[in-house]
């Protein structure tokens, strides 16, 4: 495998992430905290694993864009949830796709769908493969054969409408390649999920991904101007419109459809000018109730119409883990940005709201925030440093998996009035499960996005596990968390999607008759049920 190739069992590309020395240091740190393994186990070797023989072969016309190479099949077996990485790390690859298709254009996507339709082969649409909910998994009960349909070669910006600030973009483009193509035009999508480097535009749209903006434009949804979707029944192309009141939105049927209705091949996306005015600050909320007081201040901020682009409230545990605090206080990280006008008055008013809400410190302004910054960040650039750490986190998790440490997250959203009780219940249920199942561990919380009517809390679990029992242990913890979330009135996912893993929670959350309507819509668009069975609905 060449240097820089995608790692088949874990995050990112071979050779990136922590060096062996850094991995050792991470292992020592967690060993000191949890008594876990000091020596990370070596990663799995693909040449030592026997993959089942492919059950189908592509027609000659598709041979050039369909592969059954072991790296391709192993790399497309799972997504990148904790559970996925553990299984891949163990070398458990019982049900890889029989073939992986890498269509080079939309005609080849259609040809793959035609082949699979005629041969009764199940198709799993695959963007960057970063699903953490089993959305691209190819172990599909009852499937005659499975093709993973990797859109990664559809990676170009096809057209730019500078006046309307929009672009027609192929769905398989990864985050960095997308931004690289927009930058010369002074434009940006400004959608930076944690998976940014290894997730695609089509994946973001199919999963209602959460991005850069903490308020207002939180999900990708609002940036979609129109879609082009290949369904087994034919092409769906919606009209490019800034808005419409003509019936239920066709785009919204496909946004969040997770590959069960069709394969998104292109989208016209609404873009932003690159911001030139920025202000940022961090604010402390002290004491045992600091997080809840911080939440109350954030509520007022979210209802103020100030629209911060960053409004990340970290509980003391989360602040400590990320280096923003010592574990004694909650921290609110605030950011404002604009391509048009100064943001100092907005930040000042936001800090006033925080002070009124009992913030301990008057708000530390980030020194460099007033000046334009490169998106990539630089030395001495706290936002950039945070962003790099944020993007590194999945690499670190690979090390933790090698040390048999459970490292996983889950997220939800809940109205403000329910938040205090809800949060306590989710924290207690999760912590109790962690201690019962693992004997030790931490549960931390931050807000990733906030709304006038509620918040999106994001929970991170870190706990030692018994090698070999990681998945059963995590399953028990996750079940406790899901129960608290669903019972408490939250959503099973704010921006990680449903996939196969969240089905039990989703089935309790969504109205039964909506599932009936969705099944009916699927039958109209995918009459043979080729696409991603088991995701969102059973057919």
Phi, psi of 75 (to 5 degrees): -70, -15
Q: How far is the CB of 39 from a second copy (least distance, A)?
A: 38
Of residues 414-453, which lie at the interface with a second copy (CB under 8 A)?
Answer: 414-418, 449, 451-453
Distance CA 117, CA 531 (A): 10
Distance CA 252, CA 243 (A): 12
Q: Are strands 166-170 and 157-161 parallel, antiparallel or unpaired?
A: antiparallel
Q: Is 253 in the site for a second copy (CB under 8 A)?
A: yes
Distance CA 205, CA 223 (A): 9
Q: How far is the CB of 413 from a second copy (least distance, A)?
A: 5
**List of residues 6+ apart from 379 with CB closer than 8 A:** none
Q: How far is the CB of 508 from a second copy (least distance, A)?
A: 10
Span from 112-120, 207-215, 312-320, 396-404 in contact with a second copy (CB under 8 A): 207-215
Q: How far is the CB of 265 from a second copy (least distance, A)?
A: 14
- 493-522 burial by CB neighbour count: b if 16+ within 10 A, else e? bbbbbbbbbbbebbbebbeeeeeeebbeeb
Cβ closest to a second copy, residue 82 vs residue 254: 254
Of residues 229-248, which lie at the interface with a second copy (CB under 8 A)?
Answer: 231, 233-248
Of residues 373-392, which lie at the interface with a second copy (CB under 8 A)?
Answer: none
CB–CB of 189/179 below 8 Å?
yes
**Which one among 15, 32, 305, 467 touches a second copy, defined by CB under 8 A?**
305
Cβ closest to a second copy, residue 427 vs residue 535: 535
Could you tell me the two tokens for 34?
A: 């949890």
Span from 160-168, 184-192, 280-288, 477-485 in contact with a second copy (CB under 8 A): 160-168
Q: Which residue has the tokens 């996939």?
A: 499
Burial of 305 (0-12, 13-18, 19+ CB in 10 A): exposed
DSSP result, 282-318: EEEEESTTHHHHHHHHHHHHHTTT---SEEEEE-HHH
Q: How many residues bind a second copy (CB under 8 A)?
A: 95
Torsion of CA 425, 211, 386, 27, to 10 degrees: 60
Of residues 111-140, which lie at the interface with a second copy (CB under 8 A)?
Answer: none
Cβ closest to a second copy, residue 438 vs residue 455: 455
Could you tell me the two tokens for 142?
A: 């009852």
**Which one among 90, 156, 185, 519 touches a second copy, defined by CB under 8 A?**
519
Distance CA 126, CA 257 (A): 13
Q: Is 207 in the site for a second copy (CB under 8 A)?
A: yes
Contact code string over 285-304 relative to a second copy, x by CB under 8 A: --------------x---xx
Span from 41-49, 115-123, 324-332, 502-510 in contact with a second copy (CB under 8 A): 502-510
Q: Is 55 in the site for a second copy (CB under 8 A)?
A: no
Span from 184-192, 203-211, 321-329, 382-390 in contact with a second copy (CB under 8 A): 203-211
Distance CA 277, CA 265 (A): 34
**Which one among 22, 321, 338, 392 touches a second copy, defined by CB under 8 A?**
338
Distance CA 168, CA 138 (A): 30
Q: Is 261 in the site for a second copy (CB under 8 A)?
A: yes
Cβ closest to a second copy, residue 77 vs residue 307: 307
Of residues 313-332, which lie at the interface with a second copy (CB under 8 A)?
Answer: none
Residue 174, beta-bridge partner list: 200
**Which one among 210, 308, 357, 441 touches a second copy, defined by CB under 8 A?**
210
**Which one among 98, 258, 279, 318 touches a second copy, defined by CB under 8 A?**
258
Q: How far is the CB of 87 from a second copy (least distance, A)?
A: 24
Q: How far is the CB of 359 from a second copy (least distance, A)?
A: 17
Phi, psi of 239 (to 5 degrees): -80, 140
Span from 10-18, 42-50, 337-345, 461-469 in contact with a second copy (CB under 8 A): 337-345
CB–CB of 495/462 below 8 Å?
no
Cβ closest to a second copy, residue 226 vs residue 373: 226
Q: How far is the CB of 247 from a second copy (least distance, A)?
A: 5
**Which one among 36, 181, 188, 257 touches a second copy, defined by CB under 8 A?**
257
Q: Is 69 in the site for a second copy (CB under 8 A)?
A: no
Q: Answer left, alpha or beta for residue 4, where phi above 0 means left and psi between -120 and 50 means alpha.
A: left
């Amino acid at each position: 495998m060449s240097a820089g190739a995608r790692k088949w069992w874990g995050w990112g590309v071979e050779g990136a992430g922590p060096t062996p020395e850094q991995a050792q240091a991470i292992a020592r740190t967690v060993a000191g905290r949890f008594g876990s393994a000091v020596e990370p186990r070596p990663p799995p070797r693909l040449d030592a694993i026997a993959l089942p023989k492919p059950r189908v072969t592509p027609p000659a016309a598709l041979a050039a864009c369909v592969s059954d190479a072991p790296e391709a099949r192993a790399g497309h077996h799972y997504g990148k949830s904790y559970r996925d990485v553990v299984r891949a790390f163990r070398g458990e690859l019982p049900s890889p796709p029989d073939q992986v298709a890498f269509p080079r254009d939309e005609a080849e996507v259609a040809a793959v769908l035609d082949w699979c339709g005629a041969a009764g082969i199940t198709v799993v649409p695959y963007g960057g493969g970063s699903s953490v909910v089993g959305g691209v998994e190819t172990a599909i009960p009852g499937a005659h054969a499975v093709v993973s349909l990797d859109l990664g070669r559809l990676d170009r910006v096809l057209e730019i409408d500078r006046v309307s600030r929009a672009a027609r973009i192929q769905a398989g483009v990864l985050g960095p390649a997308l931004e690289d193509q927009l930058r010369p035009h002074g434009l940006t999508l400004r959608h930076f999920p944690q998976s940014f480097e290894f997730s695609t535009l089509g994946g973001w749209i199919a999963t209602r991904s959460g991005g850069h903006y903490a308020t207002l434009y939180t999900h990708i949804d609002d940036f979609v101007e129109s879609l082009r979707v290949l369904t087994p029944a034919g092409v769906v192309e919606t009209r490019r419109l800034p808005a419409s009141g003509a019936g239920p939105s066709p785009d919204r049927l496909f946004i969040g459809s997770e590959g069960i209705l069709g394969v998104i091949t292109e989208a016209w996306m609404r873009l932003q000018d690159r911001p030139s005015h920025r202000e940022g600050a961090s604010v402390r909320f002290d004491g045992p109730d600091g997080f809840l007081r911080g939440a109350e201040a954030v509520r007022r901020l979210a209802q103020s119409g100030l629209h911060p682009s960053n409004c990340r409230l970290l509980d003391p545990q989360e602040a400590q883990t990320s280096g923003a605090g010592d574990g004694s206080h909650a921290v609110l990280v605030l950011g404002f940005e604009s391509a048009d006008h100064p943001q100092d008055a907005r930040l000042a008013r936001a800090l006033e709201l925080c002070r009124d809400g009992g913030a301990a410190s008057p708000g530390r302004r980030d020194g460099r925030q007033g000046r334009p910054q490169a998106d990539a960040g630089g030395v001495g650039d706290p936002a950039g440093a945070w962003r790099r750490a944020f993007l590194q986190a999945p690499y670190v998790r690979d090390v933790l998996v090698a040390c048999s440490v459970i490292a996983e997250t889950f997220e939800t959203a809940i109205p403000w009035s329910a938040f205090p009780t809800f949060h306590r219940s989710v924290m207690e249920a999760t912590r109790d499960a962690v201690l019962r199942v693992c004997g030790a561990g931490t549960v931390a919380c931050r807000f990733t996005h906030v709304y006038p009517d509620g918040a999106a809390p994001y929970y991170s679990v870190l706990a030692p596990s018994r090698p070999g029992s990681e998945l059963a242990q995590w399953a028990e913890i996750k079940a406790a968390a899901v129960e608290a979330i669903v019972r408490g009135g939250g959503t099973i996912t704010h921006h990680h999607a449903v996939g196969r893993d969240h089905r039990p929670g989703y089935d309790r959350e969504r109205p039964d008759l909506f599932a009936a309507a969705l099944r009916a819509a699927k039958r109209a668009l995918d009459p043979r049920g080729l696409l991603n069975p088991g995701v969102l609905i059973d057919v």
